[in-house]
Structure 1
Amino acid sequence: MNRKISSMLLLLILSVTDAYLLAHPNLIGKIGVLVYKHSYIKNFPRALLTVLLVVGISLLISELVYRFVGKKTALLVYSAFIAVEVGWFMYVYITFSSFTYSITGKAFIYGAHLLPVILLGLYGRYLVKRLLEPGRPKDTVAVIGKPEQH
């Protein structure tokens, strides 16, 4: 199977899993979703739309940086994104370790942890891909029919 297709399939499966987990808190979690007006994860279709938008926009940004930005700048951008995701994951871990959130149900807690992990993997993949890529020559145009001059 093509690497690009398998990567997209993995992202889709992880996104659907994350949306399912976020949309299924226990009773206390459902009350918390209503009280704090988290309407974007109120049910499975809304959670799926939210997760797919976040992952899709992140994928689009990563692909645009990969294609249109120089290697050093791209590495800096991906490193910054990874730092943000690590910070977000630590925030989610600390928040959901407190008593209030720890009683919202394991599925909901795992879903909250999964989204930063998905994005961390996405940005990490692009970082490694860009690191391993040899430098691309800039502004090279192939002219058909003209012999090369040495």
Structure 2
Amino acid sequence: MNRKWSSLLLLLVLSVTDAYLLAHPNLIGKIGVLVYKHHYIRNFPRALLTVTVVVGVVLALCELVYRLARKKTAIFTYLAFTAVAIGWFMYVFVTFSSFSYRITGKAFIYGAHLLPVILAGLSLRYLFKRILVKEQDNVRLTDPGTESDGGAKPL
């Protein structure tokens, strides 16, 4: 199987798993979802749509940066994406460590932690992929002077 297809399949499996976990809190968690109007995770189809849209937007942004930005800009952008995902993970960790969220059920808590981890992994994958591409620092991958394998033509 092609690496790209296997990566997309892994993202799909992780997104479905995350949506399932977010859509299945315990009774106290269900009351909290209703009270705090988290309508985007009220049931499995809505949670799946929410998670898929978030992962899809970040995947599209990473792919656009990979194809259109110069190497240094792309690396900085991926580092920023990773920092945001790690910051979001720390926020979720601190929030779900409080008593009111701790009693919402383990599945819901794991689902809340999984989405930032997926996004951090996605941006780190593109970061390492971009670092390993052999090219000059100031060349975009879509410049007319680059070859199809990603390497720059010799001068």
Shorter-chain TM band? over 0.9
Classify the secondary structure of the residue corresponding to 2:104. coil
Instruction: Note the alpha carbon deviations across 1:85-130, whole angstroms, 9 max, x for none.
Output: 1100000000001100000000000000000000000000000000
Return the TM-score normalized by structure 2: 0.89
Structure 1 residue 139 displacement after superposition: 3.2
Q: Which residue of 1 aligns with 2:61?
A: 61
Q: Residue in 1 aligned with 2:46?
A: 46
RMSD of aligned alpha carbons: 1.5
TM-score, L = length of structure 1: 0.92
Deviates more, 1:113-122 or 1:129-138: 129-138
Q: CA deviation at 1:141?
A: 7.5
Tell me which amino acid in the other structure corresponds to 2:66: Y
Distance 1:77 1:96 in 2: 28
The answer as to 2:81 corresponding to 1:81 is yes
In the TM superposition, structure 1's runs of 4+ consecutive aligned residues that sit over 4 Å from their partners are none
Hey, what does 2:124 align to over in structure 1?
A: 124
CA distance 1:67–1:39, change in 2 (3 Å): same
CA distance in 2, matches of 1:58, 1:96: 24
Shift in Å, 1:23: 0.1
Q: Compare CA radii of gyration and give the structure with the larger one.
A: 1
Q: Read off the aligned partner of 2:144 and give its amino acid letter.
A: D
Whole-angstrom distance in 2 between the partners of 1:3 and 1:24: 32
1:24 aligns with 2:24: yes
Query: In structure 2, what is the equivalent of residue 99 of structure 1?
Result: 99
Q: How many residues align?
A: 143
Structure 2 unaligned segments of length 5 or more: list them: 148-154
SS in 2 for 1:97: coil
